[in-house]
Amino acid sequence: MLRLGRSTSRPCLPQPRSLAPLSRRPAQRWARRSLPRLGVAAPGASDVAKADGPSTDLRVIADRLWKLGLPFWQEDTSARWKLAGVVGLTLATTGVSVVFNFLGRDFFTALSEKNEEQFKIQLAMYLGAFVFGIPVFVFKSYYQSKLALEWRQWMTERMLQDYLAHRTFYGLQQSAEVDNPDQRISSDVATFTDTAMGLSLTLFNALLDLISFSGILFTIYPPLFAALVIYSVGGTAASVALGKNLVTLNFNQEAREADFRYGLVRVRENAESIAFYSGETDEKELLKQRLQAAVHNYLGLLTASRNLDFFTSFYRYLIQLLPAAVVAPLFFQGKIDFGVINQSQSAFNHILNDVSLVIYRIETLAGFSAVIDRLGEFTEAMDARNTAAAASAAAAAGAAPTAALPATTTASTTITTASTTATTTSTTATTIIGADEPRLLQGEGLEVAEELPGIRLKFLGGGVEAAEGPAGGSGRPLLRCRDVAVVTPRGGNLLLQGLDLDVPAGSSLLVMGPSGAGKTSLLRAVAGLWGEGRGVIELGMAREEVMFLPQRPYMVLGSLRDQALYPRRRGDDAEPREDGSSAASSATSTSTSASAPAPPSRPLPSDEEILAVLETVSLGHLLGRYGHGNSPSHGHLYHAPSSAASSSAAPSATNGSATPSTTTSASSAPPSTPASTPSSPSSSLSSALDAVADWSGSLSLGEQQRLGWARLLLARPRLALLDEATSALDQETEAKLYKVLQRSGIAYVSVGHRSTLREFHGSLLRLKPDGRGGMGWEVKQLKAAAVAVAP
Ligand SMILES: Nc1ncnc2c1ncn2[C@@H]1O[C@H](COP(=O)(O)OP(=O)(O)OP(=O)(O)O)[C@@H](O)[C@H]1O
């Protein structure tokens, strides 16, 4: 027979013991190390589980069960009412069972008294009780599962919120505190809510049942074997036929669950890129869409199960009546003496089921404990990180205005902008620092690293410096480093120390050095992903105004439009701009800080602007290649603008003063329509941009890098951090892209190995061995590069 219900088919085996020891120690270390520094009490021994492997301490499990299970019922009033309804239905099922039992007794009493008229009345009452009683069982089961599903959705969304807040996903991956967060969020939560709901109601029901039936136990009457065989074979065949569509629904459910899980796995695998992009909002949206698809299919599954449940319930309860109905003629002939044997049989079955509950459910209970353990550990790790991050943000917000470094510091190395050229005299001579500082040795790691106070990263808001011009004037530079030391989070190795650096608005810096010297790690520290070390990094802008371009860009799951507009940034509008005005132009006119309100609302670029930028980075051919592709109803981050919006945007996209296309040289200005796309009303362009493909699998690395540049030109941040972002491109294309970037007015810091990159940068930060086994640094003024003034 088909098994119904998710809880019966979902594996809920305890996790291997070997996984947990690895996961707990870093969590404790991290909490001990980081929380006191941030002024947050570190969890004590009782707060973080001490034992290796799944916890067998009942008190810990009960504590975690309480903490995991309670919030939904505390926060959702309607859920409490629904639970009361399900408990009421549960009580009603017990009441119905008792009614059936007594009806059965009277039914058989009528038989034993050979009272044919009374027998017919009892039979009619019995059938009437079925009609009213069985829906109680079916609806109890249906609403119980539906409520568990709502609980799961709520709990999963809450976990997504915590997982994607404060870059917790990145921190957890870096520290390897917990294994498989995706599995915990997708599978374990579903198992938890299903099992918690099912077990608690089953236990409640069993208790009532036991009380109700223990007084009416009678001896067992042997069933009519032949009738039972015929009955069960016929019933199985009928339920298989009725439940055929459940196979498809279950199959689809697995696929939807796997889609959802895969989305989460991608967040884990691409944690660093997403964190650099600050793409948390986009990830949350995509994951919610996939969750919604799973929920929708599961609702269909529930409905089909409910319908089949009508049959199976009749089947299950009719067997109670069948033996008596079959032997009734014999009884009327006086050949058999029945009494109340049916009642005792029924009561016996009830009691047997009740007292055997733990034996029947031992595997479920074991799996449930493991799930509680895994989820408890996961939420504790996330809570610790989010609490620390919130405390850190609050501290930074309070300190930012007064703790800002002075505008000029004589000891620092100032990088001149191109427009001020080499005549600016504030650049110091080549400096190599680092030999006389205490050095952290590999292997001594965490203990020594704990002595360093950590890097203080400050976002001081944007706009002022840009308005003052590229020379920086008396304003703060876009990027300022003071005595910065960068330490790896795992292993605690010192990569770089004593770095003093200023990057003014509209300037550019090239970072070079041997592989593994710490170039990318410096960008990680600037983006706030790594906080281990020492010193102060100030950014004269909001966090959202910094954009990172990795060597291998992260390809978001979605359409070509999604690729071009990723990541959604705080302040982005859902609607494309209609006047062709630059998103950046409005963003730079407002000063923000770490605690400042979000940048003003920025309309999304129109389709024509996206097309223009794709042409600029030589990717116009993608529209032709993928333009006829699929466009599923879910999985899009950005939806096509209305045709009115698109068409009204078209003229301004070609003659506006601040669109990405106008920042390119005249020779690279894009045509209004790509040659490879259909002659194009905006709807064709729109559907071409809606094309969905496996972008990371189908685009070459060079194409992916150019798509990354398209994102940069569309987003127009204040500062771009480019980590070997042209490594897969030919030199001609590399030169073209850097020229476009120079004209855009975006300040940039590049990491690269090619000497040809020098031409496009105003200054060079070279990391080089200091001759004592460590890494020193030097800054050189390069030939002035033509960089436009930031708008
Ligand atoms: N998450 C991490 N935990 C510990 N060590 C790390 C981590 N990430 C990188 N490292 C180490 O830090 C050092 C510097 O890495 P980084 O990526 O900054 O080098 P790089 O100069 O950018 O190298 P390349 O030119 O090869 O890209 C390397 O030795 C690397 O193995």
pLDDT, tens digit, for every residue of 48-85? 333 344 455 678 888 999 999 899 999 988 999 999 99
Structural domain count of the chain? 2
- Rounded to whole angstroms, the Cα distance separating 768 from 777 reads 6
CB-based contact 690:636 (threshold 8 Å) = yes
Residues 266 and 137 reside in one and the same domain:
yes
Is the pLDDT at 261 greater than 60? The verdict is yes
725-735: average pLDDT: 92
Closest CA to ligand 1's atom 17: 520
- Compute CA 277 distance to the chain's CA centroid, rounded to the nearest angstrom: 15
Distance from Cα 33 to the centre of ligand 1, integer Å? 22
pLDDT, residue 651, reads: 32
Q: Say which amino acid occupies 624.
A: G
Q: How confident is the model at residue 624 (pLDDT cuts 50, 70, 90)?
A: confident
The token duo for 4 is: 């119904």
The token pair that represents 145 in the structure block: 């599962």
Tell me if 243 CB under 6 Å of ligand 1: no
Residue 2: count other Cβ atoms within 10 Å of its Cβ. 16
Whether 240 and 131 map to the same domain: the answer is yes
d(CA 317, CA 369): 33
- Report the first-to-last Cα separation within the chain, whole angstroms: 70
Looking at residue 351, what is its pLDDT?
54
CATH code assigned at 609: 3.40.50.300
ipTM confidence: 0.98
- pLDDT at position 789 is 38
- For residue 554, which amino acid is it? Y
Asked if 704 contacts 555 with a C-beta cutoff of 8 angstroms, the reply is: yes
**What is the residue with the minimal CA distance to atom 31 of ligand 1?**
516
* Average pLDDT of every residue of the chain: 69
**Which pLDDT score, from 0 to 100, does residue 377 have?**
87
Same-domain status, 511 and 381 = no
Lowest mean pLDDT of 135-149, 297-311, 349-363, name the range: 349-363
Contact 514 CB / ligand 1 (< 6 Å)? no
Tens digits of per-residue pLDDT, 662-695?
Answer: 333 333 333 333 434 444 456 676 777 888 877 8
Q: What is the CA(688)–ligand 1 centre distance, in A?
A: 39
Identity of the residue numbered 526: V
Contact yes or no for 30/268 (Cβ under 8 A): no
40 contacts: CB under 8 Å, gap ≥ 6:
387, 388, 391
Predicted pLDDT at 233? 61
Q: Which of 728, 748, 544 is nearest to 738 (CA)?
A: 748
Query: Rounded to the nearest whole angstrom, what is the distance from the C-alpha of residue 518 to the centroid of ligand 1?
Result: 6
333 and 199 both lie in a single domain? yes
Kind and range of the H or E element at 110?
A: helix 77-112
189 belongs to a structural domain: yes
Query: Where does a domain end: 347, 372, 388?
Result: 388
Contacts of 63 by beta carbon, 8 Å cutoff, 6+ apart: 376
d(CA 487, ligand 1 centre) in Å: 10
Enclosing domain of residue 321: 58-388
Higher pLDDT, 452 or 457: 457
For residue 460, being part of any structural domain is answered with: no
In angstroms, the CA 372 to CA 18 distance is 17
Contact 383, 162 (CB under 8 A): yes
Is residue 673 in a domain?
Answer: no
Same domain, 361 and 481: no
Give the residue-averaged pLDDT of 7-19.
Answer: 33
pLDDT band at 735 (very low <50, low <70, confident <90, very high): very high
Ligand 1 pocket, mutate which of 520, 757, 777 (most atoms under 8 A from CB): 520
- Look at residue 661 and tell me whether its pLDDT is greater than 90: no
Residue type, 226: A
Q: Residue whose CA is closest, atom 6 of ligand 1? A: 488
Token pair 């199960």 in the structure block, residue:
305
CB 21: neighbour CB atoms within 10 A? 11
Are 202 and 345 within one domain?
yes
How far is it, in rounded angstroms, from Cα 572 to Cα 614?
A: 20
pLDDT computed for residue 364 by the predictor: 63
pLDDT at 417 over 80: no
Alpha-carbon distances, residue 778 vs 204, 216, 281, 772 (angstroms): 72, 91, 38, 16
Name the β-bridge partners of 459: 539
Longest dimension (CA), the chain: 122
Q: What confidence score (pLDDT) does residue 66 get? A: 92
Asked if 348 and 493 sit in the same domain, the reply is no
Q: What are the pLDDT digits (tens) for 156-173?
A: 999 999 999 888 998 888
Q: Among all chains, which residue has been given the structure tokens 């000891």?
A: 411
- What is the length of the chain? 791
Q: Which of 354, 388, 422 is the last residue of a domain?
A: 388
pLDDT at 297 over 80: yes
Q: What is the pLDDT of residues 194-243, one digit of tens each?
A: 989 988 888 887 777 767 665 554 444 444 445 555 665 666 667 666 76
- Residue 331 domain flag: yes
Please report the atom of ligand 1 found closest to the CA of residue 724: 27
Name the 3-class secondary structure at 421: helix
Q: What is the mean pLDDT of residues 397-426?
A: 39
Q: Rounded to an integer, what distance in angstroms lies between the CA atom of residue 787 and that of residue 472?
A: 14
Q: Determine the Cα–Cα distance for residues 635 and 605; give it in Å rounded to an integer.
A: 20
State whether 110 and 233 are in the same domain.
yes
Report if residue 294 sits inside a domain.
yes
Q: What is the pLDDT of residue 696?
A: 78
Pocket-testing residue among 519, 530, 532, 754, ligand 1, by greatest number of atoms within 8 A of Cβ: 519
The mean-pLDDT minimum among 66-70, 104-108, 392-396, 513-517 falls in: 392-396
Residue percentage of the chain with pLDDT more than 90: 16
Going by C-alpha positions, the residue among 13, 67, 19 that lies closest to residue 383 is 67
Report the amino acid identity of residue 292: Q
The answer on pLDDT for 136 being more than 80 is yes
399 located within any domain: no
The CA-CA-CA angle for residues 574, 578, 584, to 5°, reads: 70
pLDDT in tens, 526-559: 988 888 888 999 888 888 888 999 888 888 888 8
CA atoms of 43 and 55, how far apart (whole Å): 17
In a domain, residue 458? The reply is no
Q: Tell me the pLDDT band of 420, cut-offs 50, 70 and 90.
A: very low
Region 280-304 average pLDDT: 88
Shared domain check, 257 and 122? yes
Strands 747-751 and 508-512 come out as parallel
φ and ψ of 322, to 5 deg:
-55, -50
Question: Which neighbouring-strand residues pair with 702?
Answer: none
How far is the CA of 274 from the CAs of 13, 45, 538, 548, 593, in angstroms?
A: 32, 33, 22, 10, 22
SS3 of residue 250 by DSSP: helix
495 lines ligand 1 (CB under 6 A): yes
- CA–CA distance, 662 with 94 (Å, rounded to integer): 75
Percent of the chain at pLDDT > 70 equals 58
Residue 707 has pLDDT above 90, yes or no: yes
520 lines ligand 1 (CB under 6 A): yes
pLDDT > 70? residue 278? yes
Residue with tokens 């902008």: 417
Do 616 and 739 sit in the same domain of this protein? yes
Residue 269 above 90 pLDDT?
A: no
Instruction: Give a yes or no: residue 296 inside a domain.
Output: yes
Average pLDDT over residues 482-489: 88
List C-alpha distances in Å: 571 to 226, 478, 554. Answer: 73, 21, 22
Q: Which two tokens stand for residue 503?
A: 């990057």
Asked if the peptide bond before residue 567 counts as cis, ω within 30 degrees of 0, the response is yes
DSSP 8-class letter at 501: E
The verdict on the CB of residue 370 being under 6 Å from ligand 1 is no
Ligand 1 site, residue 146, Cβ cutoff 6 A:
no
- C-alpha distances out from residue 420 to 24, 415, 427, 781, Å: 54, 10, 12, 12
Of 388, 422, 454, which residue is a domain's last? Answer: 388
| Nearest ligand 1 atom, CA 751 | 22
Q: How many C-beta atoms lie closer than 10 Å to residue 220's C-beta?
A: 12
Q: What is the CATH number of the domain that holds 136?
A: 1.20.1560.10
Q: What tokens were used for 717?
A: 């941040």
User: Model pTM?
Assistant: 0.66
Tens-digit pLDDT profile for residues 351-372:
555 654 544 455 566 667 778 8
Band of pLDDT at residue 638, cut at 50, 70 and 90: low
Identify which has the larger pLDDT, 574 or 723.
Answer: 723
Among 525, 521, 496, 524, residue whose Cα is nearest residue 775: 496
Backbone angles phi, psi at 536, to 5 degrees: -125, 130
Structure tokens at 337: 């003496």
518 in ligand 1 pocket by Cβ < 6 Å? yes
How many whole angstroms separate alpha carbon 29 and alpha carbon 194?
Answer: 34
Cα gap 762→750, rounded to integer Å = 11
